[in-house]
């Protein structure tokens, strides 16, 4: 089994803080086997991280967190950016057209752009996997909803730290029964449902710090954009 972190953000995300080097260092330090950087509607840092991953003893997985019309979708195994703002079904089609897989993060958390409130159960079940454990949840209720849905629909399950600072990389991981130590094998195993999830909640004080820091960085970038 490989320990895989599937949901992290670098400084390229509007609410991320750290460069990919720090994410990779943390992933290696906590004993992970693979890392995906999944910035909001950006892919360049993820490609950079995937290219550098071997230097840290890691498998790099290219991905991004796409903001579709219904909410957030994680895209893995893609080569090019997936356009934001498209309908849910078209977003999945665009991911699959690149040979990637689509995983739905925090689907039942409305405050964080979960898609479940805006699509049918059939549409949600058309994803390749559901993130059933996201570390950045205060009560865990949304996680339990996601897990129940995935079990009911017999969908593959993943976990992710949703780390916006490097220290939180590895808070939640997906254990993957991959045939070999490669991004392709990992994604194939996820799609086949050869996964289990392990994680712990991000401490509330850290979640607040991540949120506040993200808001500050967004405001700073907005001001700079007006100059």
pLDDT digits (tens, 9 = 90+) for 120-171: 999 999 999 999 999 987 678 999 999 999 999 999 999 999 999 999 999 9
Q: Which of 158-162, 184-188, 214-218 has the lowest mean pLDDT?
A: 214-218
Report the alpha-carbon distance of residue 59 to residue 52 in Å, rounded.
9
Angle, CA of 185, 27 and 156, to the nearest 5°: 40
Q: Are 160 and 7 in contact (CB under 8 A)?
A: yes
Rounded to an integer, the average pLDDT of 55-73 is 98
Question: Cα–chain-centroid distance for residue 30?
Answer: 18
Rounded to an integer, the average pLDDT of 201-210 is 63
The model's confidence at residue 218, banded by pLDDT at 50, 70 and 90, is very low
Rounded to an integer, the average pLDDT of 107-114 is 92
pLDDT at 182: 98
- Global pTM reads 0.90
Contacts of 39 (CB under 8 A, 6+ apart): 9, 10, 12, 13, 16, 45, 46, 64, 65
Q: Which of 99-103, 197-201, 203-207 has the lowest mean pLDDT?
A: 203-207
Contacts of 26 (CB under 8 A, 6+ apart): 166, 167, 169, 170
The model's confidence at residue 216, banded by pLDDT at 50, 70 and 90, is low
Higher pLDDT, 63 or 220: 63
Is residue 214 over pLDDT 80?
A: no
Is residue 3 over pLDDT 80?
A: yes
DSSP string, the chain: -EEEEEEE--TTSTT--S-HHHHHHHHHHTT-SEEEE--BT--HHHHHHHHHGGGGT-EEEEEEEEEETTEEEEEES-SSPPPTT--HHHHHHHHHHTT-EEEE-STT-GGGT-SGGGS-HHHHHTSSEEEEEESS-SSSHHHHHHHHHHHHHT--EEEE--BSSGGGTTSEEEEE--SSSSHHHHHHHHHHT-EEEEE-PPPHHHHHHHHHHHHHHHHHHHHHHH-
pLDDT at 222: 52
Is residue 179 over pLDDT 60?
A: yes
Q: What radius of gyration, in Å, describes the C-alpha atoms of the chain?
A: 16
Residues in the chain: 227
Q: Which of 86-90, 92-96, 139-143, 178-182 has the lowest mean pLDDT?
A: 139-143
């Amino acid at each position: 089994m490989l320990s895989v972190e599937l949901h992290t953000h670098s400084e390229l995300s509007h609410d991320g803080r750290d460069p990919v080097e720090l994410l990779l260092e943390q992933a290696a330090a906590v004993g992970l086997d693979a890392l995906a950087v999944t910035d909001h509607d950006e892919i360049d840092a993820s490609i950079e991280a995937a290219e550098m991953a071997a230097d840290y003893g890691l498998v790099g997985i290219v991905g991004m967190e796409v903001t579709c019309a219904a909410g957030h979708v994680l895209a893995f195994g893609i080569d090019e950016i997936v356009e934001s703002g498209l309908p849910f079904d078209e977003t999945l089609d665009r991911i699959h057209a690149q040979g990637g897989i689509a995983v739905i993060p925090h689907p039942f958390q409305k405050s964080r752009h979960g898609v479940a409130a805006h699509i049918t159960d059939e549409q949600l079940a058309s994803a390749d996997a559901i993130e059933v454990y996201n570390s950045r949840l205060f009560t865990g209720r949304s996680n339990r909803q996601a897990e129940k849905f995935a079990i009911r629909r017999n969908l593959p399950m993943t976990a992710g730290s949703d780390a916006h600072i490097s220290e939180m990389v590895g808070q939640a991981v997906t254990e993957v029964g991959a045939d070999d130590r490669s991004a392709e094998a990992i994604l194939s195993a996820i799609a086949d449902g050869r996964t289990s999830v392990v994680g712990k909640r991000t401490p509330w004080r850290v979640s607040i710090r991540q949120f506040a820091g993200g808001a500050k960085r967004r405001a700073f970038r907005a001001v700079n954009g007006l100059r």
